[in-house]
Amino acid sequence: MGADHQSDRIQGRVSRAQRSIAIVGAGMGGLAVAATLRRAGFDVRVYEQATRFARVGAGIQMMPNSMKVLRGIGLEEPLKRVAFSPYSHLNRVWDTGEVTNELPMPESLYGAPYLCMHRAELHAALASAVPAEIVHLGKELAGLEQRAGRVALAFADGTREHADAVVGADGVHSKVREMLLGPEKLSWKGRVAYRAVFPSALVGRDIGGSRTKWWGPDRHIVIYYTTAKRDEVYFVTSVPEPAEWMTRESWSAKGDVKELRAAYEGFHPDVCAALDACPDCHKWAILEREPLPRWSEGRVVLLGDACHPMTPYMAQGAATSIEDAAVLARCLVEVNGDDVEGAFRRYEAHRKPRTSRIQAISSANTWMRTGEADTAWLYGYDAWSAPLPEGVSS
């Protein structure tokens, strides 16, 4: 960095293209924020610990609130071509199949479509929104040091990089969060999520044109297609589990299909048909966390699961991470001089009330089970235009 640039920085004259932002983690939130910041003109680099992108076997729902962000980075049309477009959120009683609540989801209702897809399709789309050369694989963050308005990043392979600011988008086991706030507090309520994606031909019946949540007394299962062609089915459950199994959340931990089928014995034939058809399954420990006291320190800020991990029950974890990406870019664009720290506080001030509310509702797991729910605040939200708080600065 030259003396002129240093002096510009001190006087708050650093242009966006001169401001370098390092993003730790190339998951859903990391790639989304790389795309929004690049579009805003920043010098962005992404550091991901994995040496390649694996195809995690899972479906993912993208609600209208996140689809608006994806539209802004050019991904709505490509995703519409491959994804399943459910007619509604359909809620049914586990054994009789009685409909307890249905929310049709036409694009006109919240200003964007509701899509369900394979998680790998969404990840690939997000990766396509940033130039491959700015994503550095095999870079596991090991340390961070802030000095004189710069942040040094140390990686496990012994290399170091520097940036003007760092975004910790390193997921539920975030090392950046640990560096900022110390070890996290976890709570285990004895529940796991089984999940599987497999060809719909194996099921031998149509699972319906909606995303269906089947509600049992102490467990549920969500089933939907993941492709526009409806040739792939996904389900994800929440079911009680003896305490011994508790483990860190892992996308690769396997489950036992026989135990899974036994857990859903007596459920409606449509559910049993899907469970009988699934060749194998994965298992994810559902852990709960309270909102964090703060999301940033100096020029390091958290995003996505790193700062607001939530249960999967409202299908909002990735969606809120993607929302974060739009709001963080807006706050950095509107930065006052060199006040990156103030921009991070403004981002948190806007985002935290919303994500804390979603965390709490998601944890309760009653969302849309019965009756009318106020859904406009959730799905109608537009991260590109929602008013940002005034008067939050350093």
Ligand X SMILES: Cc1cc2nc3c(=O)[nH]c(=O)nc-3n(C[C@H](O)[C@H](O)[C@H](O)COP(=O)(O)OP(=O)(O)OC[C@H]3O[C@@H](n4cnc5c(N)ncnc54)[C@H](O)[C@@H]3O)c2cc1C
Residues that bind ligand X (CB under 6 A): 24-30, 47-50, 58, 60-61, 139-141, 169-171, 175, 193, 195, 236, 284, 304-306, 312, 315-319, 321
| Residue closer to ligand X (CB basis): 30 or 255 | 30
Alpha carbons 132 and 378: distance in angstroms, whole number? 33
| Residue closer to ligand X (CB basis): 14 or 32 | 32
| Residue closer to ligand X (CB basis): 139 or 220 | 139
CB of 237 to ligand X, least distance (A): 9
CA atoms within 13 A on the CB side of 158: 0
| Residue closer to ligand X (CB basis): 58 or 335 | 58
Residue with the two structure tokens 């929302």: 323
CB of 30 to ligand X, least distance (A): 5
Catalytic residue among 47, 110, 225, 347: 225
For the question of residue 224 being annotated catalytic, the response is no
| Residue closer to ligand X (CB basis): 72 or 317 | 317
| DSSP β-bridge partners for residue 91 | 101, 213
Q: Angle, to 10 degrees, between the axis of helix 64-72 and the axis of helix 317-333? A: 40
CB of 234 to ligand X, least distance (A): 9
| Residue closer to ligand X (CB basis): 25 or 64 | 25
Burial of 293 (0-12, 13-18, 19+ CB in 10 A): exposed
Helix H, strand E, coil C: the string for 140-204 is CEEEEEEECCEEEEEECCCCEEEECEEEECCCCCCHHHHHHHCCCCCEEEEEEEEEEEEEHHHCC
CA distances from 298 to 165, 200, 231, 343, 375 (A): 9, 49, 48, 10, 35
Burial of 148 (0-12, 13-18, 19+ CB in 10 A): exposed
Nearest to 80 by CA among 64, 102, 58: 64
CB of 272 to ligand X, least distance (A): 21
Q: Decide: 127 and 78 in contact? Cβ < 8 Å.
A: no
CB of 337 to ligand X, least distance (A): 29
CB of 124 to ligand X, least distance (A): 13
Q: Which two tokens stand for residue 314?
A: 């409202």
Task: Find all residues with CB under 8 Å of 130, minimum gap 6, and list them.
Answer: 31, 34, 35, 38, 44, 46
Question: Which residues are the active-site residues?
Answer: 225
